């Protein structure tokens, strides 16, 4: 088994593991990574099955573009098809596969970021903020603080709630929730052994679970992170592309932290940062509706309040390729806890966020 990786500049990591025979033939290929997949336009297609098909196609000599073209309603976000080809070529090179040599591609071959699906409107930051406020107000979003749950229960609850909303059985909701035990949560398409030191995690009593959204692995401990999920109808993100939809969903948070004097900004596709570093990351999945219903969006965010950086470094595996287009070479240095920037206790900060979300769009927010 050999592995190849490619990190799209400004985008996401693609990993490919190949299994070869003793005479150098590929007999199996598995694709993984922290990319996202939008399948909202394909209620009858499972994105995980498409990724399995992509692995088989690469093993049989097809290009990623050819395989993905068979599923025009499935859109990979954060990595162009060529990124999968490059990662596969690198894996083949590492395992000395007969007749499979790297294609000479370098970091400039893959597009910087795959074009998101959907028809987007061209709006500036100020107009996007007004749009977010108006849609938040029109959605009548409930704000709730949930009880602590196990990581597995939280992942199940998140997906079930989003599917119930898509079926018209729940109201639009912002849920701020708690972890009952330490955990590593990996993205929908990630490889557990390539992202996590499994033995260390088990030895330290850290649970490992997979979420239903894409994106990268995150390390959480009770009391050291702040996590929320936003469940909204598909109309909330209508008319904007994937990248802007992340900003629509998190603009309330940027405003809330900005009110505390923080210099908060959106970074890349799904990160939230300050001038000191990364504060947190978001992930999103869209669930098609049934019986004429428009469907729903699950958008969840984990913010670092007071991360144990040394423990995180022991548990998470971060490859050189993943950090290849970042100015800082350490994932630990890239996470900047909210505690140091706000000076607030976690409980005080959570209460501030709840109050801000409850009143956003109604209490002094500009919406015209």
**Strand duo 264-267 + 218-220: pairing:** unpaired
β-pair type (13-20, 26-33): antiparallel
Q: Residue 96's pLDDT band (boundaries 50, 70, 90)?
A: low
pLDDT at 127 over 60: yes
From-to residues of CATH 3.30.930.10 in the chain: 125-359
SS3 41: coil
Residue 85 has pLDDT above 80, yes or no: yes
Instruction: Please report which confidence band the pLDDT of residue 25 belongs to, taking 50, 70 and 90 as the band edges.
Output: confident
- Of 198, 192, 212, 215, nearest to 152 (Cα)? 212
> Which tens digits make up the pLDDT trace of 189-244?
999 999 999 999 999 999 999 999 999 999 999 999 999 999 999 999 999 998 89
Residues 6+ apart with CB under 8 A from 227: 176, 177, 178, 179, 220, 300, 301, 302, 303
Q: How far is CA 283 from CA 46, 150, 215, 227, 299, in A?
A: 18, 19, 6, 12, 6
Q: Copy the structure tokens of residue 279.
A: 């504060």
pLDDT higher than threshold 60 for residue 111: no
**Distance (Å, rounded) from C-alpha 255 to C-alpha 260?**
9
Which is more confident, 184 or 104? 184
**Average pLDDT of the residues of the chain:** 87
Determine which helix (DSSP H) or strand (DSSP E) holds 316, and give its type and residue range: none
Q: Do the beta carbons of residue 95 and residue 60 sit within 8 Å?
A: no
**Encoding tokens for residue 282?**
């978001």
Express each pLDDT in 232-269 by its tens digit.
999 999 999 988 999 999 999 999 999 999 999 999 88
Neighbouring CB atoms inside 10 A of 333's CB total 12
pLDDT beyond 90 at 10 = no
Pick the CATH number of 2-94 from 3.40.50.300, 1.25.40.80, 3.30.390.50, 3.90.1150.10: 3.30.390.50
Tens-place pLDDT, residues 277-333: 889 999 999 998 877 788 999 999 999 999 898 899 999 998 877 665 564 455 555
Report which of 304, 257, 308, 262 is spatially closest to residue 279, judged by C-alpha positions.
Answer: 304
CATH 3.30.390.50 residue spans of the chain:
2-94
What angle do helix axes 47-59 and 81-94 make, rounded to 10 degrees? Answer: 50
Q: Pick from 349, 351, 325: which is nearest to 337 by CA?
A: 349
Please tell me the predicted confidence (pLDDT) of residue 271.
93
pLDDT band at 30 (very low <50, low <70, confident <90, very high): very high
125-359: what fold? BirA Bifunctional Protein; domain 2 (3.30.930)
State phi, psi for 313 to the nearest 5 degrees.
-65, -30
* Residues paired with residue 300 on neighbouring β-strands, in sequence order: 229, 283
Give this prediction's pTM.
Answer: 0.88
SS3 65: helix
* Portion of the chain with pLDDT greater than 70, in percent: 85
Q: With bands split at pLDDT 50, 70 and 90, how would you rate the model's confidence at 106?
A: very low
- Lowest mean pLDDT segment, chosen from 103-112, 125-134, 154-163: 103-112
Q: Write out the DSSP string of 131-169.
A: HHHHHHHHHT-EEEEEEEE-HHHHHHHHHHHHHHHHTT-
- Rounded Cα distance, 180 and 154, in Å: 10
Q: How far apart are CA 244 and CA 128, in angstroms?
A: 8
Collect all residues with Cβ–Cβ distance below 8 Å to 260 and sequence separation of at least 6: 342, 344, 352
> CA-CA distance, 322 to 320, in Å (whole number)?
5
Among all chains, which residue has been given the structure tokens 């109050």?
355
Q: Three-state DSSP class for 249?
A: helix
The model's confidence at residue 76, banded by pLDDT at 50, 70 and 90, is very high
Give one word for 192, left, alpha or beta, with left for phi > 0 and alpha for psi -120 to 50: alpha
């Amino acid at each position: 088994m050999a592995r190849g990786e490619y990190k799209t500049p400004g985008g996401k990591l693609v990993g490919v593991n190949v299994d070869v025979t003793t005479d150098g033939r590929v007999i199996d290929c598995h694709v993984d990574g922290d990319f996202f997949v939008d399948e909202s336009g394909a209620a009858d297609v499972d994105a995980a099955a498409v990724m399995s098909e992509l692995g088989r196609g690469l093993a049989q000599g097809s290009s990623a573009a050819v395989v993905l073209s068979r599923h025009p309603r499935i859109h990979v976000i954060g990595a162009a098809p060529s990124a999968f080809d490059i990662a596969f070529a690198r894996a083949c090179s590492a395992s000395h596969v007969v007749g499979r040599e790297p294609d000479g591609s370098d970091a400039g071959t893959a597009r910087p970021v795959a074009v998101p699906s959907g028809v987007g409107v061209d709006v500036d930051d100020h107009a996007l903020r007004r749009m977010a406020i108006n849609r938040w107000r029109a959605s009548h979003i409930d704000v709730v603080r949930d009880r602590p749950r196990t990581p597995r229960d939280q992942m199940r609850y998140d997906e079930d709630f989003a599917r119930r909303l898509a079926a018209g059985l729940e109201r639009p909701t912002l849920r701020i929730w708690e972890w009952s035990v330490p955990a590593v949560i990996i993205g929908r398409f990630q490889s557990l052994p390539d992202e996590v030191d499994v033995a260390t995690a088990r030895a330290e009593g850290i649970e490992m679970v997979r979420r239903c959204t894409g994106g990268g692995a995150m390390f959480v401990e009770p009391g050291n992170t702040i996590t929320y999920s936003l469940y909204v109808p598909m109309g909330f993100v209508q008319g904007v592309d994937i990248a802007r939809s992340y900003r629509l969903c998190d603009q309330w948070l940027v405003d809330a932290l900005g009110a505390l004097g923080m210099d908060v900004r959106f970074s890349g596709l799904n990160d939230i940062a300050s001038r000191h570093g990364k504060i947190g990351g978001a992930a999103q999945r869209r669930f098609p509706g049934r019986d004429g219903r428009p469907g729903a969006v699950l958008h969840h965010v984990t913010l670092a309040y007071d991360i144990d950086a040394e423990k995180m470094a022991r548990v998470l595996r971060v490859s050189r390729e993943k950090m290849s287009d970042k100015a800082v070479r350490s994932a630990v240095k890239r996470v900047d806890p909210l505690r140091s920037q706000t000076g607030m206790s976690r409980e005080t900060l959570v209460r501030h966020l709840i109050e801000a979300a409850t009143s956003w769009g109604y209490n002094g927010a500009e919406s015209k």
